[in-house]
Structure 1
Amino acid sequence: MVSSAGATSNARDPVDGPAWRGRTTLGKLLETLGPLVLHLEFAPHGDDVHVGEPVIHDLGERVQDQADGVLLIVGGAPDDDATLDAIKQAGAARYATVVLKARGRDLAAAAQTAQEADIALLVAPDDMPWRHLDALITAAAAADPGRDSYASVGVGDLFALANAIAYSVGGAITIEDPQGHVLAYSNLPHQHIDVTRQQGILGRMTPDRPTNDAHYQRVCRADGPVRFKNPDPEHSPRLATAVRAGPQVLGTLWAIDGTPPLGEGAAEALEEAAKVTALHLLRARAHRNPDRWSRVEALASLLDGGTTGRIAATQLGIAVDTPTCVLAIAHTPDGESSGLRSARIVDLVSLYCEAWHPQALCTTAGDLVYALIPTRTDPRAHQRVTKFAEDVATTVHRTAGLVLHVGIGTPSLRLDEVPAGRRSADRVLRALAADVDQIRVATVDEVRSRVLLLALAERGVATIDLPPDPVARIIEHDQQHDTAYAQSLLVFLDAFGEAARASSELAVHENTLRYRIRRIQELFALDLDDPDTRLVTWLRLRMCQFGPPQ
């Protein structure tokens, strides 16, 4: 709900502010940070108003004076009295805008209060840390990304930024996207680069190495810089850190610890550089393809439940009551770098989605690709989505040689239901992964039993706080004595106790299987004549296939 007063007589009068006041406007701030960081809910004077320094506000305290400031309202829901009072105070103190989090609540009261207070209202994702948001807004609003050493770097000039970081950190730098594409690199003449870095620069992609996946995952999960020691003379030690906007990984920074070696403060310098790089990557995204990046980031936030359906509808350009379906797409292991696979898959799937519907959209989360598909509500909608998913898997396999699993989520009648659809698609995908050589595309209905087993395994339903059960003892016995009791018992129960059928599947003589079953009952006091015992034993054995026994 963006409101803009067209008449200039409504604009705020100029006021004295910080020395760097006026270097950016609300519109430029939003363009730089994008919908992944901020959504404009209400603007009484449009977005061509100056914004200045962010101020973190604790509810219950008096709002401090900060002309043209950006008030970050921490801790309250948008319809709390304390939040509404802070908005009123901010308007009286001549702030440019306030920022709050929806937290699943209606924004109508906050928007109405902002309108009465004559102040703009911005909404941040619920999972965006306030300290991170403060750093991003400070960098964007001041048009001075962080430290003095970066002040001369134009926002979005990644190659100049890489050189500035290399100078600050003391080692050659590459800036990469989450899939390992080299976006920019430093070229300071006195800093050594190794063979791997040379290949990455030439191919604009990190060369495939056996440790790539583990290294990238470690960097993206760490809270700060990570060091990697490499004995290979062609691959020098490295210091790396993730570049984030809130929980979203925008890219990574990699510094070579070679000749000269990195100094004592290199980790701190790289961590500081990551904050600056986040601003540059957000700006670079916006300028490459502003509409697509905006929608992709909005989709990622919607899938995670970080934004409301109403806000996502504005950002995605579709009605909030549009029926949709989420597809979760994963590749089967084939030895290729996972980052490269995901990058290739999302490009191919995006083309197919755009052919299906102009408002269909794809995004990535780790190694997974997600597609949001607008659908219809007629009885054949299910068949059409399934056929589309099968065509996607077939096309990607034919054109790229990649084998895909596609989990089809439960249909969503409104955008607010999309996060639930994503969770159901994830469950289907996990169920498909349990049988790699079986079906490749499925809905919840088609793998419902396996989805239920996975849910039970996750919740530990069959592993409550009791002494070790016979199944746990059977598995322990197999590990210690190299027996196959657990497998034999599961196949026997799967076959409804038909020894001939089970022995055929196990490739053993029928009498051998009968002997094993008798020994299992004797050794572990297992009464298979009892129906409850048979059910619980089978359930425990099946769930142990999805993870270690608890």
Structure 2
Amino acid sequence: DWTEVLGRLRTALAHSGAAAPAGMAGLRLGDLAGLANTVADLVGGAITIEDPRSRVLAYSRLEHAADPLRLLTILGQEVPRWRVAELRERGFFTALWSSGDVVRLPADDRYAERLAIAVRHGGEVLGSIWAAADGRPLAEDAAAALRAAARAAAPHLVHHETWGREEAGRREQAVKDLLEGRPGAQQAARGLGVAPEGPYTVLVAEVHDTRNPGGPAGPRPSGPGAASGAPAAATDTTGHRVLDLLALQAAAYLPGCVSARSGGRLFVLTPAAGGAEADPARRMVAAARSVPHSVVFAGVGQRAADLSELPASRASAELVVRVLRERAAAGGGPWTSASALHRDVVSEVALLRVLDSVEPTWQEMNGPVHAMVAHDRTHGSAYGASVAAFLDAFGDTRAAARGLNVHPNTLRYRLRRARELFGVDVGDPVGRLLAGLGLRLARRGG
């Protein structure tokens, strides 16, 4: 409740003996641009208001010559990454976030003097206010003005942060309504600015932490991302950081896109561009490589001709992600990020759908393949692996034996014993089909 929040903040300011600087009392709540201009008049310099990630929330009017760094910051809507790294290495941000006072950044041969102060609400850092000399010296009482401005700015940044979260939540819910085909999808599309005519594509990116591939087993997620067989993906700090990065990549390279998150996944809806839909998936994979311990599987679904086909496009994109994840799991080595279009993996997607359909019935059955798998698990034998290798090699015994690192005669013996002990006959077409399906389903269960 904003009345309560503002009341508490005003009470705190009153108890501290501080008053809002002249000109601030009449500002509309959340008017960060007006706040920046008012503070600029007080300090006699240029003002930027930034969030804790050094992204620009507002800046004062440009009335004097701005140095190149200020121009870069405003044009890019964030402090350049190299500058952030430079200040972090110098310990400037440590001083800024730990101090309750103005921190001075002296002028050098490149840039003008800066003053900065953190804006806090209780123990939480909401952002910072920066003052830069813009062709004229800062006012003598600039530091005092910044102290008062930081106290008065707190309700504006609280409003901005909370309103932004609420608005982002509404937009994400509207995207989910579209991708799930819920009632009101047409209205959601209008609210998002999504054109009623297609075609569209849906891209799904799933984030994993290489320190815990696949994530812990847990409840299946609901909504987008709830496809059968989907493990819990990374949702910790690393996962959220990568999702932030992927969302920025999508916004930068997919004009007109809208996105939503669910667990460790990002869902992106975008107008389809002929032949270009693979590029953003590849860019996402490339971007993820800059974050330690992260792996991204990005899949692009089938094209949707109109809004009614979006749920099918989303489902196909999720299946592409599953294919990439299962490839990584089957590889046995370290997981690496990967991307694919639906058309690139259409056969593997079809197999996943068949296995999903067959699995409930298969689990209720008890036949030769079930007996062979149970024997392997109990006794540590390799009959199932031998049959699978033979089938994967299209009946080429020597090739299958090489893959298993055994002599061809050893493989022939195992195949013969599989027939004698369990009735699994790789010479029978129906037996081969059932063995192939059953062994793949057995691998799912570990």
TM-score, reference length from structure 1: 0.45
Paired residues for 1:137-176 under 5 Å: 153-154=4-5
Kindly tell me: are residues 340 and 535 of structure 1, through their superposed partners in 2, closer, same or farther at Cα, counting changes over 3 Å? same
Aligned counterpart in structure 2 of residue 316 of structure 1, from 175, 189, 192: 192
- Separation in structure 2 between the aligned mates of residue 406 and residue 156 of structure 1, nearest angstrom: 47
Q: What is the match of residue 407 of structure 1?
A: 299
Task: Tell me the residue number matched to 1:367.
Answer: 264
Structure 2 match to 1:42: none
Q: Could you tell me how far 1:514 is from its partner in structure 2?
A: 1.0
- Does the alignment pair 1:305 with 2:203? no
Residue of structure 2 in register with 1:499 after alignment: 397
Cα distance in structure 2, aligned partners of 1:439 and 1:342? 14
**Do the aligned partners of 1:324 and 1:411 also contact (CA within 8 Å) in 2?**
yes
| Equivalent residue number for residue 287 of structure 1 | 163
Q: Output the CA distance in 2 between the equivalents of 1:528 and 1:364.
A: 46
Deviation at 1:157, TM superposition (A): 8.8
Task: Give distance in 1, aligned partners of 2:374 and 2:7.
Answer: 57
Structure 1: 5+ residue stretches without partners: 1-142, 145-151, 161-180, 182-201, 204-282
CA apart distance, 1:439 = 7.7
Helix, strand or coil for the counterpart of 1:504?
Answer: helix
Q: Which residue of 291, 296, 321 corresponds with 1:429?
A: 321
Task: Tell me, in whole angstroms, the C-alpha distance in 1 between the residues paired with 2:8 and 2:257.
Answer: 31
1:429-483 CA-partner distances (Å, limit 9, x unpaired): 1111111158811222222232222222222358358751111101100111110
SS of residue in 2 equivalent to 1:328: strand
Structure 1 Cα separation of the partners of residues 5 and 383 of structure 2: 67
Instruction: In structure 2, list runs of 5 or more residues that go unmatched.
Output: 12-51, 53-96, 99-158, 213-233, 329-334
Counterpart amino acid of residue 398 in structure 1: S
Aligned counterparts of 2:293 and 2:336: Cα–Cα separation in 1: 18
Aligned to 1:416: 308
Whether contact under 8 Å (1:454, 1:546) holds in the other structure is: no
d(CA) in 1 for partners of 2:7, 2:416: 71
User: Which one of 341, 350, 362 corresponds to residue 443 of structure 1?
Assistant: 341
Bigger mean CA offset, 458-467 vs 445-454: 458-467
Deviations for 1:275-324, whole angstroms, at most 9, x for unmatched residues? xxxxxxxx987622676554333112222333443112211112111322
Q: Which amino acid aligns with 1:513?
A: L
| 2:383 counterpart residue number | 485
Residue of structure 2 equivalent to 1:387: 279
In the alignment, is the contact (CA less than 8 A) between 2:204 and 2:321 conserved in 1?
Answer: yes
Cα distance in structure 2, aligned partners of 1:407 and 1:435: 13
CA contact (8 A) 1:285 1:293 kept: no
Match of residue 476 from structure 1:
374
For 1:526 and 1:454, locate their aligned partners in 2 and report how far apart those are by CA, in whole Å.
23
1:346 aligns with 2:258: no
Report 1 or 2 for greater relative contact order, CA contacts < 8 Å, sequence distance ≥ 6: 2
Higher helix residue share: 2
Alignment of 1:5-154 (within 5 A): 153-154=4-5
Match of 1:541 among 434, 439, 444: 439
Cα deviations by residue, 1:215-262 (Å, 9 ceiling, x for unpaired): xxxxxxxxxxxxxxxxxxxxxxxxxxxxxxxxxxxxxxxxxxxxxxxx
Contact 1:329 1:368 in 2 (8 A): yes
Separation in structure 2 between the aligned mates of residue 475 and residue 324 of structure 1, nearest angstrom: 44
Evaluate the alpha carbon distance shift between residue 476 and residue 424 of structure 1 in structure 2; reply closer, same or farther with a 3 A threshold.
same
- Aligned residues of 2:288 and 2:294 also touching (Cα < 8 A): yes
Match of 2:201 in 1: 325
Q: Distance in 2 between matches of 1:476 and 1:408?
A: 38
TM-score normalised to structure 2 length: 0.55
Quote the Cα distance in structure 1 between the aligned partners of 2:289 and 2:393: 35
Does the 8 A contact of 1:428 with 1:443 survive in 2? yes
Q: Secondary structure at the match of 2:345?
A: helix
**Partners of 2:375 and 2:246 in 1: how far apart?**
47
Cα distance, 1:530 vs structure 2:
1.6
Residue identity in the other structure for 1:529: G
1:476 and 1:357, CA in 2 relative to 1: closer, same or farther beyond 3 A?
closer
CA contact (8 A) 1:298 1:316 kept: yes
Contact kept, 8 Å, 1:390 with 1:441, in 2: the verdict is yes
Residues 409 and 285 of structure 1: CA distance in aligned 2, closer, same or farther (over 3 Å): farther
Largest Rg, 1 or 2? 2
Say how many residue pairs are matched: 275
Q: What's the C-alpha RMSD, in Å, of the aligned pairs?
A: 3.3
